[in-house]
Structure 1
Amino acid sequence: MSETVAANGSGPDVRSGGCLCGKVRFTVTGPVDDPHICKCSHCAKRSGAPFQWWVGFPMAGLEWTGDAEPTWFDTYPGKTARGFCGACGSHIAARDYGDDTVIGILATALDHHDTDPALVPTNLNRLAEAAPWLAQNDTRHATAG
């Protein structure tokens, strides 16, 4: 399936994505829900980064299209599971038990996350848990882009 992102609100709203090795591939169809940055300790530890960029999509619009589906790990046993590729380890998704309406997808798992304006984060979750150095405005190491 080719990716079609409706920029003007008409037509299907379909995005594709997957892991680094390509074994886990997916499409999500439907509107973007709550694009946000999460700075909780679980996101930081799992990703090896100070935060992760999440986007919700309707669970009914999710289709696993690759050779494999994610391996799931309960980060909050009985509450939340995180999906990753069992071959390359790429983090891909999250789901909450008891909520079969929304799937959380890591924005960076989407093929065109860097050019899709609908994915711009609108919320910063768990700000109190953020690494204290994130608040520093230090430009000594900034590079021209």
Structure 2
Amino acid sequence: MSITSYEGGCLCGHIRFLARGTPANPHACSCDFCQRHSGAPVLCWVEFPREALQWTGEGGAPALFRSSDYSSRAFCPRCGSTLGAVDDEPVVALVTGVFDRREAEELRPLSHSFEDGCPAWCGVAGG
């Protein structure tokens, strides 16, 4: 059975969210931006329409860093946790590691962008 709402937040709990609906475009990415944003060789994402997401924690919305012409990376200003990306288009992409119920099948990546950027020692990709 699929979940209709998802909660999560940063490491310290200052930034929390509630996302409603079904996550879209579940994927892994190994581009340079994702690796530097997360400090990991692979980052897993899902997307929600901006109107389906509420920032519910005492910290409100996360801090943003403009990382490209169309998107800003989101993070907690208190603990530094990576939360995702807020695109100029009406999409917010959240990293799957910040969800309270990370085991939800809807969060499972169905593709891997920039797989060739993943180091061979990682064991996740053909690298």
TM-superposed deviation, 1:104: 0.2
Report the equivalent of 2:64.
72
Other structure's SS at 1:63 match? strand
Q: 1:82 to 1:133 in 2, by over 3 A?
A: same
1:112 maps to a residue whose letter is R
For the Cα contact (< 8 Å) 1:31–1:58, is it kept in 2?
A: no
1:131 maps to a residue whose letter is P
TM-superposed deviation, 1:128: 2.4
TM-superposed deviation, 1:136: 8.6
Report the equivalent of 2:114.
126
The answer to whether structure 1 residue 89 and structure 2 residue 77 are counterparts is no
TM-superposed deviation, 1:94: 0.5
User: What TM-score do the two structures reach when normalised by structure 2?
Assistant: 0.90
Q: What is the percent sequence identity of the aligned residues? A: 33
Q: 1:120 to 1:41 in 2, by over 3 A?
A: same
C-alpha deviations, 1:10-66, integer Å up to 9, x for none? xx7100000010010010001110111000011111211101010111211100100
Once residues 46 and 136 of structure 1 are traced to their aligned partners in structure 2, the CA distance between those partners, rounded to angstroms, is: 18
Unmatched 5+ stretches in structure 2 = none
Aligned pair count?
124
RMSD: 1.8
Once residues 15 and 136 of structure 1 are traced to their aligned partners in structure 2, the CA distance between those partners, rounded to angstroms, is: 26
Q: Larger Cα Rg: Structure 1 or Structure 2? A: 1
Unmatched 5+ stretches in structure 1 = 1-6, 138-145
1:106 maps to a residue whose letter is V
Q: 1:40 to 1:27 in 2, by over 3 A?
A: same
Once residues 117 and 132 of structure 1 are traced to their aligned partners in structure 2, the CA distance between those partners, rounded to angstroms, is: 26
The answer to whether structure 1 residue 110 and structure 2 residue 99 are counterparts is yes
TM-superposed deviation, 1:135: 5.4
User: What TM-score do the two structures reach when normalised by structure 1?
Assistant: 0.79
Q: Which has the higher contact order (CA 8 A, sep 6+)?
A: 2
